[in-house]
Amino acid sequence: MAPRNAFYAQSGGVTAVINASACGVLETARKYSDEIRAVFAGRNGIIGALTEDLIDTSLESEAAIAALKHTPGAAFGSCRYKLGSIDEQRAAYARLIDVFDAHDIGFFFYNGGGDSQDTAYKVSQIGAELSRSIVCVGIPKTVDNDLPITDCSPGFGSLAKYLAISIREAAFDVASMSATSTKVFVMEVMGRHAGWATAACALAAEQDGDAPHILLLPEVDFNEERFLAKVKESVQRYNHCVIAVSEGVKSSGGTFLAASGTTDAFGHQQLGGVAPVITGMIGDRLGYKCHWALPDYLQRSARHIVSETDLQQAYAVGRAAVEFAVAGRSAVMPAIRRLSDQPYRWDIVEPPLAAVANQEKLLPAHFIVADGFGITDAARRYLAPLIVGESYPPFRNGLPDYVKLHNAAVPKKINTPFAI
Amino acid sequence: MAPRNAFYAQSGGVTAVINASACGVLETARKYSDEIRAVFAGRNGIIGALTEDLIDTSLESEAAIAALKHTPGAAFGSCRYKLGSIDEQRAAYARLIDVFDAHDIGFFFYNGGGDSQDTAYKVSQIGAELSRSIVCVGIPKTVDNDLPITDCSPGFGSLAKYLAISIREAAFDVASMSATSTKVFVMEVMGRHAGWATAACALAAEQDGDAPHILLLPEVDFNEERFLAKVKESVQRYNHCVIAVSEGVKSSGGTFLAASGTTDAFGHQQLGGVAPVITGMIGDRLGYKCHWALPDYLQRSARHIVSETDLQQAYAVGRAAVEFAVAGRSAVMPAIRRLSDQPYRWDIVEPPLAAVANQEKLLPAHFIVADGFGITDAARRYLAPLIVGESYPPFRNGLPDYVKLHNAAVPKKINTPFAI
């Protein structure tokens, strides 16, 4: 059978290692030249497929492709765009098939979180329904670590490492100044629904008294009185208190704590986080001097300090996706299976996309301690191996030497535009 | 002459490398055992001297002292405490001399910024006035880089490197998502009066269009209309806009832009930064989706990614301080003198503390471009060498292996307490 082209796209919020998955896909596809002619990447994710804005990755040098392994962001552009059901958006799915037909695309690789796995699943369905031979493989990615089945999601281990390092470093700062300055430090971390990132901060603590002293998880209803009592106790015992708070912490009424609806002195709407709310509360009620940090995108883009374990897994799922595809497996997603905690061993398994799509894995109850402000040893055993190992990017002039690809467009073959 | 003890203390906001200066002091002092018996550190800075709460560093192992070189924070505790004039606080200065007499302290090393150099200067004066033989040497440190005379301040290079890396990484994130998501990213950086840290972010940009696209420096009056026009231009040209803003940006009326006086939905006072004000303004007026980050203490404690140049300088000023002291030089501060930009060469000179104390070095006008939103090539030449080189800490279980000293107290010899 003649080789066909492949489509690859990156979707949703980026990670420090999603380009390592891209690297795994592209390097592996180049090895299977009997089956895969060229890999066309969607510019800005699935939007690139819908608008026939494809990037010819075969024009990139081997060195540039290899450099993806140490470059954050999404090299081909990502998007926040969710395809609805096939019934609702039949025109969009038909358009995808038209574009894939026009460019002889026989393989569809979609690299993203739960929504993206859902899209990959739907594309596999429409392909089958329209009798188009297209092999669809999802590639897991999300800093939120909320994909089901896979033991962890590529991207999360590096976020976890960055956050645990950052809170440890900030805690050294606060502890050394607490006699006359800041007593409470709050770091706000990603994870609107699932507390994996917040939980990972706890890895910074190894002994009694080590920071962080309190976690505020989105899985646990926030109770102001119990929280303030815990802060007070920490300050009394350790003379300072370091807190990791999930952006998605909610009160028992189900409303987000994050500041909203406030305006600043200029009358502009204030885009707030939860950290200023928490520190405001502590300052008002307990009178402690507080500081807070909001790393925002820094936490999911910190390629300079990724987890080597995470990096290897990100590459491995990209490579496995191509291997699955050329073996004719469709509607699957390479997933990480844990074989043992210590020594940490894992391999790649092959769950169906149908089982992965549109689910959200929260912190299980047995990972959260009784008072809700920390994690259990079971959680620690789960999290610990994911942050192990360093893989530094090359540096030039004191800065990481990240690659920007040429991203040359594949000439269009369809003349009709498509409105997004 | 019989050897005498030395006093060393850390003062003011910490840096990622102030402990490297401590390491330079302690390792060098151990080599001069004919002159220096033991180094007693002040617990929590000068407060430790006033309250006779001294730490016997001679009880720490060589390995622990060496590990200070890769540990952030202030190993002996720092403080925000400024001694007033000798006339105002004669009792405090007299107390210092009493404590130093009681512990046979002949050398006073004070590691800090402008205020701390002022304290060191005053101690040298009172020593002379009271005919006490005490050699006083200041050791420079400040992430703000605002000390005069010295070419740069230890601590700043590492802050600069962290910020330039972080904004480059976040910019890769934003650029890859901007088609359908965030168009504007704002990072708020330290430096209430001087724009050195904000300027350093510009090192991330190497080519036209590279982030950051706009700097908001505290040396330049903020003008909302001109700023918004610049943001719009950047988004139109590059489809995104990355902004570094100093926490100390002020309007032409001289008021800080940083949110103040606002309350959140719970009625608590909101401790705001300037980044949410800026993003609120952009969202309201231009309608772009914005994100913002506030690294706060993370930026000055990020030992995991310090500048090797900065680390060497931090160690060198600690070592030089001891060498100056045993040579009998008092009321001086080791300062860094730049010999050439490229290749970067520097040595240590010996300005008098009187010339260093209580001054603030702002960004000079010729470092700021005409429209106020960026830096000149001259600034770039100055800043570039300061972030060069990496010096990673050792890692254990995926996390930096930072040292915590025993910090055993020197037995007290004075029985009177001293109220701070």
Give A97-117 pLDDT, tens digit per residue.
899 999 999 999 999 999 899
A47 contact residues in B (CB cutoff 8 A): 179-180
**In the prediction, which pLDDT does A272 show?**
59
Q: How far is CA A330 from the centre of its chain?
A: 24
| Tokens representing residue A283 in the block | 């300052």
User: Residue B36: what residue type?
Assistant: I
- Determine, for residues B398 and A307 on separate chains, whether the beta-carbon distance falls below 8 Å: yes
- Mean pLDDT calculated for residue range A160-186: 96
Q: Answer with the residue of higher pLDDT: A213 or A253.
A: A213
Q: Tell me the count of A-B CB pairs closer than 8 A.
A: 278
CA distances to A103, A265, B191, B256 from B259, in Å: 53, 7, 16, 8
Q: Cis before residue A417, ω within 30 degrees of 0?
A: no
Binned at pLDDT 50, 70 and 90, residue A271 comes out as: very low
What is the bridge-based pairing of β-strands A335-340 and A241-246?
unpaired
Name the residue in chain A with its Cα closest to that of B384. Answer: A397
Long-range contacts for B40-43 (Cβ within 8 Å, ≥24 apart)?
A: B40/B5, B40/B6, B40/B7, B40/B8, B40/B103, B40/B105, B40/B410, B41/B7, B41/B8, B41/B9, B41/B10, B41/B75, B41/B76, B41/B407, B42/B7, B42/B8, B42/B9, B42/B10, B42/B76, B42/B77, B43/B76, B43/B77, B43/B407, B43/B409
Secondary structure letter of residue A362 according to DSSP: P
- Mean pLDDT calculated for residue range A264-272: 48
- Determine, for residues A14 and B392 on separate chains, whether the beta-carbon distance falls below 8 Å: no
**In the prediction, which pLDDT does A259 show?**
59
| Tokens representing residue A253 in the block | 């009424």
- Mean pLDDT calculated for residue range B9-15: 96
- Mean pLDDT calculated for residue range A300-315: 98
| Tokens representing residue A56 in the block | 């010819």
- Mean pLDDT calculated for residue range B201-213: 97
Nearest residue, CB atoms, B291 vs list A16, A268, A296: A296
Query: How many CB atoms are located within 10 Å of the residue B206 CB?
Result: 11
Q: Answer with the residue of higher pLDDT: A71 or B84.
A: A71
- Determine, for residues A399 and B387 on separate chains, whether the beta-carbon distance falls below 8 Å: yes
Instruction: Of A133-142, A270-279, B208-217, B325-334, give the lowest mean pLDDT range.
Output: A270-279
**In the prediction, which pLDDT does B251 show?**
85
Name the residue in chain A with its Cα closest to that of B158. Answer: A398
**In the prediction, which pLDDT does A1 show?**
76
- Determine, for residues B398 and A266 on separate chains, whether the beta-carbon distance falls below 8 Å: no
- Determine, for residues B265 and A259 on separate chains, whether the beta-carbon distance falls below 8 Å: yes
Nearest residue, CB atoms, B280 vs list A77, A271, A283: A271
Give the separation between CA B265 and CA A270, rounded to whole angstroms: 12
- Mean pLDDT calculated for residue range B56-83: 96
CA angle B27, B33, B36 (to 5 degrees): 85
Q: How far is A233 from chain B (nearest CA, A)?
A: 21
Does the structure show a pLDDT above 60 at B265? no
Please give the share of chain B, as a percent, with pLDDT higher than 90. 83
- Under 8 Å CB-to-CB from B65, ≥6 apart: which residues? B23, B26, B27, B30, B57
| Tokens representing residue A214 in the block | 């309190």
- Determine, for residues A398 and B293 on separate chains, whether the beta-carbon distance falls below 8 Å: no
Are the beta carbons of B12 and B115 closer than 8 angstroms? yes
CA distances to A176, B36, B272, B325 from B108, in Å: 20, 11, 39, 9
Taking alpha carbons only, the member of A115, A122, A9 closest to residue A57 is A9
| Tokens representing residue B37 in the block | 């018996």
Active site residues of A: 144
Does the structure show a pLDDT above 50 at B186? yes
Name the residue in chain A with its Cα closest to that of B261. Answer: A265
Active site residues of B: 144
Name the residue in chain A with its Cα closest to that of B386. Answer: A398
Give the separation between CA A206 and CA A171, rounded to whole angstroms: 13
The chain-wide mean pLDDT, for chain B, equals: 93
- Under 8 Å CB-to-CB from A12, ≥6 apart: which residues? A45, A78, A79, A80, A112, A113, A115, A116, A141, A142
B399 contact residues in A (CB cutoff 8 A): 161, 164-165, 168, 203-204, 387
Nearest residue, CB atoms, B291 vs list A175, A297, A402: A297
**In the prediction, which pLDDT does A261 show?**
44
Q: How far is A71 from chain B (nearest CA, A)?
A: 9
Nearest residue, CB atoms, A176 vs list B73, B169, B276: B73
B204 contact residues in A (CB cutoff 8 A): 399
Please state at what angle helix B90-102 crosses helix B114-129, rounded to 10 degrees.
Answer: 70
The chain-wide mean pLDDT, for chain A, equals: 93
Binned at pLDDT 50, 70 and 90, residue A265 comes out as: very low
Name the residue in chain B with its Cα closest to that of A162. Answer: B399
Give the separation between CA B363 and CA B218, rounded to whole angstroms: 9
- Mean pLDDT calculated for residue range B151-180: 97
- Mean pLDDT calculated for residue range B381-403: 98
Does the structure show a pLDDT above 60 at A268? no
Binned at pLDDT 50, 70 and 90, residue B398 comes out as: very high
- Mean pLDDT calculated for residue range B75-87: 90
B79 contact residues in A (CB cutoff 8 A): 177, 179-181
Q: Answer with the residue of higher pLDDT: B417 or A42.
A: A42
Are the beta carbons of B398 and A311 closer than 8 angstroms? no
Interface test with A, best of B111, B281, B399 (most A CBs within 10 A): B399
Buried b (16+ CB within 10 A) or exposed e, A289-315: bbbbbbbbbbbbbbbbbbbbbbbbbbb
Instruction: Of A316-325, B316-325, B358-367, give the lowest mean pLDDT range.
Output: B358-367
A268 contact residues in B (CB cutoff 8 A): 277, 280-281, 283-284
Binned at pLDDT 50, 70 and 90, residue A417 comes out as: confident
Residue located via tokens 């509607």: A331
Does the structure show a pLDDT above 80 at B261? no
Are the beta carbons of B118 and B333 closer than 8 angstroms? no
Binned at pLDDT 50, 70 and 90, residue B268 comes out as: very low
Q: Answer with the residue of higher pLDDT: A363 or A87.
A: A363
Taking alpha carbons only, the member of A99, A67, A76 closest to residue A10 is A76
Q: How far is A400 from chain B (nearest CA, A)?
A: 7
**In the prediction, which pLDDT does B269 show?**
46
Beta strands in B194-269 (DSSP E): 214-216, 241-246
**In the prediction, which pLDDT does B87 show?**
87
Backbone angles phi, psi at A410, to 5 degrees: -75, 130
| Tokens representing residue A376 in the block | 């259990």
- Determine, for residues B398 and A78 on separate chains, whether the beta-carbon distance falls below 8 Å: no
Residue located via tokens 């200070």: B68
Name the residue in chain A with its Cα closest to that of B174. Answer: A73
A129: alpha, beta or left, given left = phi > 0 and alpha = psi -120 to 50?
alpha
Q: How far is CA B100 from the centre of its chain?
A: 27
Query: How many CB atoms are located within 10 Å of the residue A129 CB?
Result: 11
B398 contact residues in A (CB cutoff 8 A): 161, 164, 203, 307, 309, 384, 387-389
- Determine, for residues B270 and A277 on separate chains, whether the beta-carbon distance falls below 8 Å: yes
- Determine, for residues A176 and B395 on separate chains, whether the beta-carbon distance falls below 8 Å: no
Q: Answer with the residue of higher pLDDT: B214 or A415.
A: B214
**In the prediction, which pLDDT does A270 show?**
45
Q: How far is A181 from chain B (nearest CA, A)?
A: 6
- Determine, for residues B78 and A168 on separate chains, whether the beta-carbon distance falls below 8 Å: no
